[in-house]
């Protein structure tokens, strides 16, 4: 068991799963959220939030689970103090909310480049010796709070490039958009 106040709070709320939403202040598009495209499972071929259940190796720490999922799914490697920098709000509290029994962490990653994350994902998928948990994601894109892609092309009233977002991610983005402190 860890000694994070946040984790104790989540335990008292009956937290089971962990999801992590990352957002940034994009130079052209303002507030956007980063989502990874799932290869399989419930949300196959849809863009969704980094999510999973706690492993025994996480030592009952929700923050450790969040950090592990960020590394496996998006190739974002953080130390605990780096996690703090991205996830603590101006009042010093780790940003998170509950959706049913899932603790959803909310981290700000200004300057995080899409190309970097796409490259991480490609590297993971080419490196077949990695365990399967590193191979769950096939792509990464940015989305507005309403789940639309800022660069989706529309011809007439037909969306040509379509980026499907999972129902769970839409729920997370709706909750998250009221809790970011960008401006």
Question: Which residue ranges make up the site for Zn ion (CB under 5 A)?
Answer: 2, 4, 7, 61, 63
Q: What is the DSSP string of 87-112?
A: HB-TTSPBPEEEETTEEEEEEE-TT-
Q: Would you say 67 or 76 has its CB closer to Zn ion?
A: 67
Closest distance of CB 62 from Zn ion, Å: 6
23-55 in b/e form (b: 16+ CB < 10 A) is bbebeeeebbbbbbbbeeeebeebbbbbbbebe
Closest distance of CB 179 from Zn ion, Å: 20
Q: Would you say 7 or 103 has its CB closer to Zn ion?
A: 7
Q: Would you say 61 or 173 has its CB closer to Zn ion?
A: 61
Closest distance of CB 71 from Zn ion, Å: 16
Q: Would you say 104 or 112 has its CB closer to Zn ion?
A: 104
Long-range pairs for 122-128 at CB < 8 Å and ≥24 separation?
123/75, 124/72, 124/75
Closest distance of CB 6 from Zn ion, Å: 7
């Amino acid at each position: 068991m860890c000694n994070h106040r946040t984790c104790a709070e989540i335990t008292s709320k009956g937290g089971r799963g962990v999801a992590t939403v990352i957002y940034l202040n994009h130079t052209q598009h303002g507030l956007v959220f980063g989502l990874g495209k799932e290869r399989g499972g419930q949300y196959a071929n849809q863009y969704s939030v980094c999510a999973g259940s706690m492993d025994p190796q996480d030592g009952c720490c929700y923050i450790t689970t969040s950090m592990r999922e960020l590394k496996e799914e998006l190739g974002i490697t953080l130390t605990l103090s780096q996690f703090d920098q991205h996830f603590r709000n101006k009042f010093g509290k780790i940003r998170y909310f509950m959706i049913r029994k899932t603790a959803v962490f909310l981290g700000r990653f200004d300057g995080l480049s899409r190309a970097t994350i796409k490259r991480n994902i490609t590297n993971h998928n080419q490196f077949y010796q990695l365990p399967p948990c590193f191979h769950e994601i096939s792509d990464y894109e940015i989305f507005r709070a309403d789940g639309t892609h800022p660069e989706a092309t529309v011809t007439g009233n037909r969306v040509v490039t379509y980026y499907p977002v999972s129902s769970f991610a839409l729920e997370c983005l709706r909750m998250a958009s009221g809790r970011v402190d960008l401006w």
